[in-house]
Structure 1
Amino acid sequence: MTSVPGLSFRWEWEPAPSVRAPELRKTWARIEISVGAEYVTLLEDLESGSSRRSIYCPLYPLAEWAAYNWWFLRADARLARYADLSRPDRLDPRRLRRHSLRGSGDGFVWPNLLILPEGIGKRLIWCRDRSHLTAQRPVRFISDGEVLLDRVSVEQELVRLISAVLTRLAEQGITGTPLEKEWTAIQGAEPDEVEFCLASARLGLDPYSEAEPYQQLIVRAASELRDDLLGDFYDAVEPALLGSALEWIREARSDIEHVSARTDAAALREAVWQGPQRTSLSSASLAWEKGWEQARAVRRALGLADTAEIALEPYIAHVTRQPADSGLLALGGATEGFGPVAVTKPGLPMTASRFTLSRALWHYLWESEPFFLVTTAYTDRQRVERAFATELLAPASGIGTLLDGSPEMAISDDIEEIAARYRVSPMVIKHQVENQLLTA
């Protein structure tokens, strides 16, 4: 993962007299798509064996795809839940079309560039064509990459593309296209409509064709929840369970308000914030590193050795209530004069419970929310809290000390033994080895 200047579309208009559809003929171009110095459109011509950095096709389908999926490209982070985004052939085709340039279609060969919202960032992933998918194609895309970019810069580049295509068509006397109608409606949307469209997209719903049955529940959610709590709710809950999930939050809030267990969390929060602050949450590109450093700050404040297990009971209380939606792992909050409380699913294994409570503790220590959700979503904030929980429970440096040999030589028995020492799942140790020790 690298930090790069940004997404860029470049084109030169080309003649295409044999193309019948006027919007395609007049926007035919030689197109280059790049992310920083990497060319997403780098391809191999299968007949000649040569490579080039551009494709020849109309810009209109690409602009139309961006407009028709505008709200999803701005707000729908649900595709990020998939474990392996580098294998688009394994992803939900409907959601894939909403986020991949290949959804532009119209019979043209487009690179498989995914654009995924992640809070204040946009994750871009592009991958080469696999040989079994290119048997009937004259070219094969051969570039791979993954970056996290600023959300605004990516959206501005998409707007520039759409505007350029509309200007080109207008100059050629072509008006009233589906693209023009769609983009005019988007640009003219009132603030309330924009809010509804973004909320629908976060729920995975097309605001114009799928969201109407849920309109009252979306409005209800916006009236009962606020700020990050509302956003995390939209990102995680299934639309069909909106009503029951809102009721679960109401009941879980009541549970929190009736718990009067005092903890040492307030003193811990004060100690952490009085210590040296080495990171800022202003950049989305280092979300996991922020979480790691925040966890180290907590362990320093507690005077814990890196090889020592942390006890969570002194810092966060919890009660259980069966959630209405599997995407909602916990609701947390704190009443005045008492420490944080998390409402979690009953019957969780000890290791899963400790991980969820650690994620909830992050909200209390590092955010100023009266209530918050821990969910299965994958946005920038969720990445921070997951990294925090991982490093808080099982510090990478401690794991390195406990390993008998180098991280490259770690075997399953080593990982399971260290996991038992920290009271975490072996997957937590495996992630720490792969993401910190092997990359050091």
Structure 2
Amino acid sequence: MSRQEGETWLSCLIQEILERLAEKDTKNTSAALRWQRIQASIQSGETVFCEAAGGLGLDPYQIADDEAEFIEKSEELFSNDALVEFVSGADNVDRSSLLNWVERMASERSMSYRLANLRPAVDEVAKIALPKAGERAWALGYRRARAMRRHLDLQQHHRFSSFKDLAQYLGAGRSFNLAPKVDGIHALRRERPDGIHIHLRNHGDSSEAKATHLFSMARAVGDAACFPEQALSSVNRLQNAYRQAAGRAFAAEFLAPIDEIRSMQKDKRDIFSIADEFSVSPAVIERQIENQDRIAQACGAF
């Protein structure tokens, strides 16, 4: 069921319940009032604000001033689903610090975060793997990962050893590096006239952090490949949000193609050695193996 179909079904259900209550002289209930407000918000263009508030588990009609201010300031930076996912990912973090970080990165004028070859690659990928109406997030991510690898002429055995390795492959200069630490975001993808810039949040120096940096970098590349029209978007910890799910699927298949994983399994390699080979976490390899049927289903043409 698509989102639109789900919303239509739910709207019909709510309307039917309210009509039955009205027939029994049960009118002007709080449910009826909330439904009127929801309908009004759709017509007035407040839908995205309401969705963003809902992403934080808040009632948009009974929201504290500081919460509303955070959403409104975020609206000045992000739009549509990118706004909703950014706000939803800011639950239980210092939102002021997060917003300041995004504003600072969004106004960064240096070339240190620029990937010169990414925008041309994204444009070509959009032609190779055309959009499909109602496509599941994972299918979009897997398809565009295959298309990106094809466009970049990456051999199946090609490995990216680090985020810098991937960044430089996509045209980053030697100065490309991590952005300062902050909670609530893994990366910020920004469109500028000179190309796409990716601000990758620093997670530290541990081996786990290094794997996170590479995977987050690939997710940001995937966000650009899957949603090329967006000017500013975030990569964060949300699990079920559409953009985040598409980016994760892209990153997994782009960094560790399932066909190469299968080949390594035939050579009796275990999950940990395979993960080490691809510079990703063992969880990425496990998910690839679990989702191999989905990948095949999505990438039949690739």
TM-score in terms of structure 2 length? 0.80
How far residue 331 of structure 1 moved from its aligned partner, in angstroms, is 1.1
Partner of 2:277: 421
Partner of 2:288: 432
The answer on whether the counterparts of 1:315 and 1:340 sit within 8 Å (CA) in structure 2 is no
1:199 correspondence with 2:52 = yes
How far residue 422 of structure 1 moved from its aligned partner, in angstroms, is 1.6
Identity, % of aligned pairs?
A: 29
The answer on whether the counterparts of 2:190 and 2:198 sit within 8 Å (CA) in structure 1 is yes
Partner of 1:231: 84
Distance 1:185 1:361, change over 3 A: closer
The answer on whether the counterparts of 2:156 and 2:257 sit within 8 Å (CA) in structure 1 is yes
How far residue 288 of structure 1 moved from its aligned partner, in angstroms, is 1.0
Alignment partner of 2:180 out of 280, 303, 322: 322
Partner of 2:147: 297
The answer on whether the counterparts of 1:394 and 1:429 sit within 8 Å (CA) in structure 2 is yes
The answer on whether the counterparts of 1:203 and 1:238 sit within 8 Å (CA) in structure 2 is yes
Partner of 2:260: 398
Alignment partner of 1:352 out of 193, 212, 216: 212
Distance 1:414 1:251, change over 3 A: same
Distance 1:351 1:191, change over 3 A: same
More relative contact order in 1 or in 2 (CA 8 Å, sep 6+)?
Answer: 2
Q: What pairs with 1:83-232 in structure 2 (closer than 5 Å)?
A: 149-189=1-41, 191=44, 194-232=47-85
The answer on whether the counterparts of 1:333 and 1:364 sit within 8 Å (CA) in structure 2 is no
Q: How many residue pairs are counted as aligned between the two chains?
A: 281
The answer on whether the counterparts of 1:316 and 1:357 sit within 8 Å (CA) in structure 2 is no
Q: Give the aligned residue type for 1:356.
A: S
Q: Give the aligned residue type for 1:320.
A: L
Distance 1:152 1:396, change over 3 A: same
Q: Give the aligned residue type for 1:403.
A: Q
TM-score in terms of structure 1 length? 0.57
Alignment partner of 2:100 out of 230, 242, 247: 247
Q: What pairs with 1:318-397 in structure 2 (closer than 5 Å)?
A: 318-325=176-183, 327-347=184-204, 349-366=209-226, 367-377=228-238, 378-397=240-259
Q: Give the aligned residue type for 1:309.
A: R
CA distance in 1, matches of 2:126, 2:34: 48
- SS of structure 2 residue aligned to 1:328: coil
Q: Give the aligned residue type for 2:213.
A: S
Unaligned runs of 5+ in 1: 1-148
**Between Structure 1 and Structure 2, whose CA radius of gyration is higher?**
1
The answer on whether the counterparts of 2:142 and 2:249 sit within 8 Å (CA) in structure 1 is yes
How far residue 374 of structure 1 moved from its aligned partner, in angstroms, is 0.8
CA distance in 1, matches of 2:192, 2:139: 30
RMSD after superposition = 2.9
The answer on whether the counterparts of 1:233 and 1:373 sit within 8 Å (CA) in structure 2 is yes
CA distance in 2, matches of 1:197, 1:303: 43
The answer on whether the counterparts of 1:307 and 1:402 sit within 8 Å (CA) in structure 2 is no
Unaligned runs of 5+ in 2: 297-302
Partner of 1:309: 159
Select the structure that is richer in strand.
Answer: 1
Q: Give the aligned residue type for 2:185.
A: L
Alignment partner of 1:282 out of 133, 136, 143: 133
The answer on whether the counterparts of 2:264 and 2:274 sit within 8 Å (CA) in structure 1 is yes
